[in-house]
């Protein structure tokens, strides 16, 4: 029955997006366009006149930040749209929504993030100046929203997601401003500002949106063979380009170079510990795709804060190794507890991929910062810890700053998630009923097809039915 | 019946490629190799001796154009082979042909384009000099051919496609030469030369190849669940890398930087208007994958000409916003009219993704050019509008040039498509019969498998048949 | 029967990875971490202090090797994880293992390769200095292991693969050292060191592991429709990024630029000859996905050694053209002979994609080197053939060096494969029995699903059985 892509409730008006989605999209986009018209300007590297003047005063075109950062930007861009989008296609009949809503809320978030982040740290004479670095930061902020999307995946309408994105981007920008500019912490790869923030925000939202009867949709809340292969596309792009993610906005030169390399080794070590733990915790030694798809990425999350520091490849590998172990243990033992005891229905397990590894990354960052010395960093201290380099503070206090930043991030994420969760609970946004969560056909035209949907259980039922005829029975013996 | 990948006409000699395809490929490739041997040389940046001499006279290795353009080249390359290739896999049993013929004609076109574009604007002392910029231009020309491929998708043999590519590349090079060098228009991202040209050329070809009985293949002219997910891979790569596409051959420095950024915001705005229009025009508020896969890209097309100009992010977003609306409306209302009234069977809807947005982009380019001032561009005017900068013409005349360029492009595309369409109609190229269009097994070894092909209608028929037994009947009530 | 993802031998203890895989992964990773802690250091471009000192002495950040090589590194990285990983998903029910074991052994190999290659050519005062170039080289070495993986695909446990990787990386580093540093050959794109080595090593291993009863698994040793489309993702990423692969570690400037361009044209020509030969050798003129997925890449392999030389686009196209022909002929005629006569069960046909084209590439490299002259290379000779440039040897002797390098590579690969093959034969690594090769469910939790597995033959049997009821019979006539 539920085995076909029939429209389960063809006339269910509450989830009908005919007016809700267009109105939301048009209002948001028109507001964005107006604000961009009023507030946003090219920065000195994207403006024809200003860059020309810079080249006249001795700069060369290859010094334009475009050439330092655009390849990293494109890698990050792939992570946001292909990486996050396909990682979430593991659900058997939620592929259109995973990729499609990911696409929609990312396209919205990156515009809104340009404005929000610009308000807090890009204003020049009342105008927001933008270039490749602001584009990367907008993608980063979008990544945080997509992490929260992972927690509520399958249980929210696109209108809810856009509303969530609007608030979350705003709070992200506030938190980022507090962490980086007020507290003075470092977080180039966003272990705190992106991963910890996105994960705990999303976890609180999904807690507020708790559905006691979600098991009515449990048939769909699992993967099938092909959907797991599609999800591996997402996993691998996230894994491969994470070195670009962590290094995209660090200082030029050695800092970008070192961050990419640290992340590379952290991820490699994490992959081995993930495979080991996956086989070890399985009841029959078989690898679990959920672990491979997710926990193998924890090394990138955990190297987000300290990646730009002199963590060394050795240190990166230790961090990645631990992150993989923690993440698999989280999927295996903690997630069921969170769901049963704390009523946190975390569809993608973002707590295991982004939450705990993000906190681990923050702690590693604090420790690594606190032991920074001039012997190790030399004149390069200025690029990594400017306040330590100029003597304003000593390294151990930088460690304290990092710890405060983690606490601030957790506070804003939890409080923000709480408020936004209650807003999303308003019964006007077209959330799906409990019986048809994790189902594309609520919001998408889905061609009538067997694919993705014909589970063995159906076939078995079918065969059992058919095989009550004498001929079928003989066949059944062949099959089972 | 048609539900299995059986070979519908196992002995249909007309579509047999045993000799036709090898002969065509070998002749074309041998001609290419000979012409490359006679005519093509390394340019000063790929030649060991010449570049060494440049470095001796003060240039540094990082000034080699490779470092300015190769990352963009690779992004464009991905768009051509993965982007276009997978975008067309939406058809339920034409995935091998979509990706495979895309691969074949792209591999041919980029070689032929190197020669044709070289004849018109790369000759130095009787030799064609090549490097990364000519590689990008060859990929661009290839993109135009692939757009036309989208219009005739499913209805042509690989030999027809190679013949079409040969002529289209030639005409593309002529048109590009006229538009850029004779008329003096600007079109860095190819709204006119690539998109408008490719779309209208392809539309005329498909008109000439009109098949009155194409509805005999209508069962296959649609998507299934998985094929739509594969197509989203194509869509997202096109979307993500379009900023690289539009900026790949603009001037170094601010121009590349600005173009990429304008395109980024145009696409983001386009995505929101696409989702809005898709839900608004559906009969029950459900999103349509056809719109998401295609219309969300129209913002990249429409920013192709003006992207390098001082369009501003605000202007880019307005353009993208309109492009998304136009494109969805085209899919919804115009395409059926074109098919019924004008007999244009446009498989991929290239008129909606490349045709109208290309014209919109040309118009935006003309308007943006005509209002260019020295106040805005400063010394950077030279890189964008050299003839305006040196006083040869004023900006409003540059706008006129842009308009002429659009007219020229449309003229050459329509006339060229007409002639090439009639050539392709010659009954010697192995076109498929009306009954087996959109079918891989004509031209490919296809493993016998249920996948992709077992439509619900088949299953229903099957169930209906089975369920005439009493036991089945009870099951049927369960299922439907 | 075997048509469902049931666990064929649920209690088969020999393939149970519960302890074997975790123990292997943990031991290897802990050894790696310890050795990295003792031996590995940032190089002068990733170290904060050292790079700062370099910038103080006149170097600019854009001279950091990161900006020359990181985009190429990321392309290579995609080839390793997506390219090789998805290329091998063509098997109908081995997708998890193809992508997943590829991921595991690549993550291990790149760490181990950093150490092994460092021992042989990266030691500075007892420490291994690493940066982006060593990361690329580690990925290259990993590529060689993955080629060997292609030969044994479907017939080995993950523990066997890790053991193989450990030995193969070590031997790769030895061979690379001998070829490049002792013999003094050039092999930037690794026709010899990567492709020839990986292919012949893997072929000998699969010969030693010969399974006389492998035809018990022959149902699974083939593709289905979707798995071929997934494999095309791998093919296209390898094809598109091969120019980056061959140029990733060549000299800066013209050498990188030229190598990428030569490879681009070699691949394009190869694609046309592949399509031609595929249609020509088929019994009914139909294209074979096996050829397209593999032989079209032979042009990249064959341009690996000579790509950085002044091969010219013309020469590259001739090489690519021949490589495609040889490769298709190998798949069609040689592979069956190798299997029947020499008992070499080469799952992916690596002999046709990497073996023969690798040897072709080595020969082309030797010939191209031997005809190098100062007229052609000018001062650029130093970057390509330093010993010829400084007069130590003449060009023809460089050709001899290249030939010796090929012989050395073949010798070490064959001997190494022999030894490692016998080690892998030890019955403690959990190899699958002959009856369940090419089967994910041995090592992976696989959701019960029809997808990928329900072959037509099963359906036919099912229909035949069902249609013995009178109603079914009428249906059967409809279907077949």
Is the pLDDT reported for residue A187 higher than 70?
yes
Q: From C74, C75, C149, select the one nearest C108 (Cα to Cα).
A: C149
Q: From A81, A99, A80, A79, select the one nearest A89 (Cα to Cα).
A: A99
The Cα A124–Cα A121 span in angstroms is 9
Which position has the token pair 């090593």?
C201
List chain C residues with CB under 8 Å of A292.
100, 103
List chain A residues with CB under 8 Å of C100.
232, 287, 289, 292
Cβ B253–A28 below 8 Å, yes or no?
A: no
Alpha carbon of B302: minimum distance to chain C alpha carbons (Å): 26
Residue C76: CA atoms inside 13 Å, Cβ hemisphere, count? 29
Contact C104, C164 (CB under 8 A): no
| pLDDT score of B78 | 98
Q: pTM value?
A: 0.93
Give the distance, in angstroms, between the CA of residue A467 and the centroid of all CA atoms in the same chain.
Answer: 48
Is the pLDDT reported for residue A338 higher than 90?
yes
* Exposed e or buried b per residue across C213-237, where buried means at least 16 C-beta atoms within 10 angstroms of its C-beta: ebeebebbbbbbbbbbbbbbbbbbb
Cα separations in angstroms, A339 against A294, A295, B448: 18, 19, 44
**CB contact set of A38 (below 8 Å; sequence gap of 6+):** none
Cβ C52–A284 below 8 Å, yes or no?
A: no
The Cα C70–Cα C52 span in angstroms is 20
| Residue B309 main-chain phi, psi, to 5 deg | -85, 175
Alpha carbon of B294: minimum distance to chain A alpha carbons (Å): 12
Contact B199, B151 (CB under 8 A): yes
Alpha carbon of C255: minimum distance to chain B alpha carbons (Å): 7
Question: Which is it for strands B127-130 and B40-42: parallel, antiparallel or unpaired?
Answer: parallel
Q: From C226, A1, C449, A447, select the one nearest B456 (Cα to Cα).
A: A447
Q: Average model confidence (pLDDT) for chain C?
A: 91
List chain C residues with CB under 8 Å of B71.
71
Cβ A261–C46 below 8 Å, yes or no?
A: yes
Interface test with C, best of A4, A221, A287, A372 (most C CBs within 10 A): A287
| pLDDT score of B480 | 29
| pLDDT score of A312 | 97
Is the pLDDT reported for residue A266 higher than 80?
yes
The Cα A215–Cα A434 span in angstroms is 8
Indicate the residue of A228, A260, A286 with minimum beta-carbon distance to C443: A286
Domains of chain C, with CATH numbers? 40-47+67-425 (1.10.3430.10)
Which position has the token pair 């920008």?
A173
List chain B residues with CB under 8 Å of C377.
48-49
| pLDDT score of A448 | 59
Alpha carbon of B299: minimum distance to chain C alpha carbons (Å): 25
Quick one: which H or E segment has residue B128? strand B127-130
List chain B residues with CB under 8 Å of A37.
312, 314
Interface test with A, best of B58, B225, B273 (most A CBs within 10 A): B225
| pLDDT score of B123 | 87
| Joined tokens for residue A305 | 């804060």
Range with the poorest average pLDDT among A7-21, A88-102, A340-354, A366-380: A7-21
Chain C partners (3+ C-beta pairs within 8 A): A, B
Which position has the token pair 């307005």?
B318
Q: Closest-CA residue in chain A for B67?
A: A67
Q: Render pLDDT for A150-166 as a digit per residue (tens, 0 to 9).
A: 999 999 999 999 999 99
Cβ C269–B111 below 8 Å, yes or no?
A: yes
Indicate the residue of A37, A82, A465 with minimum beta-carbon distance to B236: A82
Mean pLDDT, 10 residues at a time, chain B of 480 residues: 41 82 98 98 97 95 97 98 98 96 98 97 90 98 98 98 98 98 97 98 98 94 94 98 98 98 98 98 93 98 98 98 98 97 98 98 98 96 96 97 98 98 96 96 79 40 41 34
Alpha carbon of A461: minimum distance to chain C alpha carbons (Å): 13
Q: Render pLDDT for C391-412 as a digit per residue (tens, 0 to 9).
A: 999 999 999 999 999 999 999 9
Cβ A461–B478 below 8 Å, yes or no?
A: yes
List chain A residues with CB under 8 Å of C82.
233, 236-237, 240
The Cα C291–Cα C324 span in angstroms is 9
H-type alpha helices, B330-384: 335-341, 350, 356-370, 374-377, 381-384
């Amino acid at each position: 029955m539920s085995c076909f892509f029939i429209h389960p409730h063809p006339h269910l008006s509450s989830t009908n997006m005919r007016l809700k989605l267009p109105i939301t999209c048009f209002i948001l986009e028109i507001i964005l366009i107006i604000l961009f018209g009023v507030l946003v300007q090219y920065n000195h590297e994207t403006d024809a006149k200003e860059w020309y003047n810079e080249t006249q005063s001795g700069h060369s075109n290859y010094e334009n930040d475009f050439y330092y950062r655009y390849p990293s930007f494109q890698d990050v861009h792939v992570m946001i749209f292909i990486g996050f989008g396909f990682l979430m296609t593991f659900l058997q009949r939620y592929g259109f929504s995973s990729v499609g809503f990911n696409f929609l809320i990312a396209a919205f978030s990156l515009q809104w993030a340009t404005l929000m982040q610009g308000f807090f740290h890009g204003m020049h004479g009342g105008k927001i100046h933008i270039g490749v670095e602001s584009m990367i930061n907008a993608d980063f902020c979008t990544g945080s929203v997509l992490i929260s999307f992972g927690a509520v995946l399958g249980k929210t309408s696109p209108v809810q997601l856009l509303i969530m994105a609007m608030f979350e981007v705003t709070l992200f920008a506030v938190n980022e401003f507090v962490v980086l500019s007020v507290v003075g912490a470092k977080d180039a790869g966003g272990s705190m500002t992106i991963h910890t923030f996105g994960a705990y925000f999303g976890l609180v939202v999904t807690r507020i949106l708790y559905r006691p009867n979600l098991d009515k949709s449990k048939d769909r809340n699992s993967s099938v063979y092909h959907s797991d292969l599609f999800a591996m596309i997402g996993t691998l792009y996230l894994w491969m380009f994470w070195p670009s993610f962590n290094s995209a906005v660090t200082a030029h030169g050695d800092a970008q170079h070192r961050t990419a390399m640290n992340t590379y080794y952290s991820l490699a070590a994490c992959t081995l510990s993930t495979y080991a733990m996956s086989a070890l915790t399985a009841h029959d030694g078989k690898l679990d795709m959920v672990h491979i798809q997710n926990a193998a990425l924890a090394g990138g999350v955990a190297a987000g804060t300290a990646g730009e520091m002199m963590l060394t490849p050795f240190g990166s590998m230790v961090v990645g190794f631990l992150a993989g172990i923690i993440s698999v243990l989280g999927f295996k033992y903690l997630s069921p507890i969170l769901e049963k005891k704390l009523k946190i229905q975390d569809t993608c397990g973002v707590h295991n991929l982004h939450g705990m590894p993000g906190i681990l990354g923050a702690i590693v960052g604090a420790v690594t910062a606190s032991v920074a010395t001039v012997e190790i960093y030399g004149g390069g201290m200025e690029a990594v810890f400017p306040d330590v380099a100029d003597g304003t503070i000593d390294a151990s206090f930088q460690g304290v700053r990092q710890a405060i930043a983690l606490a601030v991030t957790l506070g804003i994420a939890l409080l923000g998630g709480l408020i936004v969760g209650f807003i999303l609970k308003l019964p006007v946004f077209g959330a799906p009923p409990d019986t048809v969560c994790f189902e594309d056909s609520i919001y998408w035209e889905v061609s009538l097809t067997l694919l993705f949907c014909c589970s063995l259980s159906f076939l078995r039922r079918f065969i059992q039915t058919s095989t009550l005829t004498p001929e079928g029975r003989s066949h059944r013996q062949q099959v089972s």
